[in-house]
């Protein structure tokens, strides 16, 4: 059941919040499952009480909205009143509890959503792999016995949805942190234009690039959850695919694709063409400039160092060394360097914006690889950093653009999960999600093949 289906079933009296929440908690508590690695905090008593209250409101004809009684999860870098916001770290495990809820958490509560717990993540959100040496790493649902990475940094958020521990998750996305795990786990992940979200109570990674996003099973569910936490719903109606003009960038984003990703992506592109979409190659040469612009670590390293410096100077040994090394790159970036980065970003955004202004969306693989095993990345530091860079490459383009993007599953059943990303300019969220709904429908012959 998707979040949208559950919302409709609740409204029609076909199910109740108590049943949905008990099912979610049972999945989270399954000793054979991933719950112990998915959640850093699980709140079963509060969740059941919230479900009872939601059911009472519906019986009285006073439901708080479409999410009233729906079980969701939140990433462990969002403040919850009375709880420690650890950000997946040991360093902050004993910090003072949050005084108030993050704004998006408060909006979920006002909407009646049942928050079942806070989900595991890469420490301080600084990796696209999802590996956490402190609390364990939840395994990807695909071929679970192989224990593949879930993607990050919103690792627990994705596995919570894939395994039925909630119907959707709220995460963050600074360089792909909702889209990467969505792609690797066969889910849908939406990164809105950053300014749509109130980030009060969000533990920062890089404020210039941070955004709050969502993971669910489909476009409609992502749009529904996004509308609640943003405070203004996106109007969602499928665009006529024949009216869409989509661009496939030829620079950077198609480099180094694995065989599985290449096949799934170009099969999806052909399907969209057959369904009537105009899909055109676009040079977009400006993408080749990003490596040089961010060679010293970019805004992420600079801004994360500003926030973490006092913590690191006091207790560096409590950090994941692979996260620590990336944060410390920011120590070499001065204020003048940061000013230059901001100027370069504005210039780059203007030029890229002009290049893609005539298209409804860019189309690219979300990430160039399918999920490798957790073990191989834990055991080989060079491999860890190489795969991390590869996973972040395509999604981070959109954060640098300050655009909006959604990752959709585009793989055939029985094959490794692969994500197809649609991306657009800042503020085009509604049009993007309408286009994504049409693309999602067009891809169903591929992603829901008969006989599987």
**Catalytic residue list:** 75, 153, 177
Quote the DSSP letter at residue 370. Answer: -
CA–CA separation, 452 and 116 (whole Å): 32
Please calculate the CA angle 432-248-127 and round it to the nearest 5 degrees.
Answer: 75
Task: Show Cβ contacts of residue 327 under 8 Å, excluding neighbours closer than 6 positions.
Answer: 124, 126, 301, 304, 305, 308, 312, 319
Question: CA-to-CA distance for 72 and 5, rounded, in angstroms?
Answer: 14
Q: Which uninterrupted H or E stretch holds 212?
A: strand 212-216
Q: Which two tokens stand for residue 253?
A: 């984003």
What does the DSSP assignment read for 112-177?
T-EEEEEE--SGGG--SS---TTT--PPPSTTGGG-B---SSSHHHHHHHHTTS-S-EEEE-SSST
For residue 246, give the H/E element and its range: strand 245-249
Encoded tokens for 320: 């994941």
DSSP SS3 for 452: coil
Alpha-carbon span 244 to 399, nearest angstrom:
23
């Amino acid at each position: 059941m998707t979040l949208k289906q559950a919302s409709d079933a609740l409204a029609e009296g076909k199910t109740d919040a108590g049943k949905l929440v008990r099912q979610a908690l049972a999945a989270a508590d399954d000793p054979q499952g991933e719950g112990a690695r998915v959640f850093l905090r699980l709140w079963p008593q509060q969740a059941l009480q919230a479900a009872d209250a939601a059911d009472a409101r519906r019986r009285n004809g006073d439901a708080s909205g479409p999410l009233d009684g729906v079980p969701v999860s939140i990433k462990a870098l969002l403040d919850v009143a009375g709880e420690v916001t650890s950000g997946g770290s040991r360093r902050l495990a004993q910090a003072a509890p949050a005084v108030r809820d993050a704004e998006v958490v408060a909006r979920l509560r006002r909407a009646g959503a049942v928050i079942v717990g806070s989900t595991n993540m890469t420490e301080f959100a600084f990796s696209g792999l999802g590996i956490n040496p402190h609390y364990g790493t939840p395994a990807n649902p695909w071929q679970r016995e192989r224990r593949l990475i879930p993607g990050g940094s919103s690792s627990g958020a994705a596995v919570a949805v894939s395994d039925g521990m909630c119907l959707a998750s709220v995460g963050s996305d600074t360089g792909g942190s909702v889209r990467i795990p969505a792609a690797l786990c066969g889910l849908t992940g939406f990164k809105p234009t950053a300014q749509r979200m109130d980030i009060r109570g969000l533990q920062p990674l890089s404020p210039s690039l941070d955004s709050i996003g969502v993971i669910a099973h489909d476009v409609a569910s992502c749009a529904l959850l996004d509308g609640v936490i943003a405070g203004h719903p996106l109007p969602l109606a499928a665009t006529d695919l024949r009216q869409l003009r989509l661009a496939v960038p030829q620079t950077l984003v198609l480099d180094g694709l694995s065989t599985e990703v290449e096949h799934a992506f170009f099969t999806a592109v052909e399907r969209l063409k057959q369904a009537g979409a105009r899909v055109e190659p676009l040079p977009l040469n400006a993408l080749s400039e990003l490596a040089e612009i961010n060679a010293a670590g970019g805004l992420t390293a600079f801004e994360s160092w500003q926030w973490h410096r006092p913590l690191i100077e006091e207790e560096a040994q409590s950090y994941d060394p692979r996260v620590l090394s990336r944060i410390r790159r920011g120590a070499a970036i001065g204020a003048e360097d940061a000013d230059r980065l901001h100027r370069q970003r504005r210039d780059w955004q203007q030029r890229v914006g002009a290049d893609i202004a005539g298209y409804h969306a860019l189309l690219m693989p979300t990430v160039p690889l399918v999920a490798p095993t957790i073990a191989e990345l834990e055991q080989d530091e060079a491999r860890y950093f190489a795969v991390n860079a590869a996973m972040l490459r395509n999604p981070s383009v959109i954060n640098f653009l300050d655009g909006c993007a959604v990752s959709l599953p585009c793989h055939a059943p029985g094959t490794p999960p692969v994500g197809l990303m649609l991306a657009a300019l800042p503020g085009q969220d509604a049009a993007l999600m309408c286009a994504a709904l049409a693309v999602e429908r067009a891809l169903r012959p591929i992603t829901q093949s008969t006989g599987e």
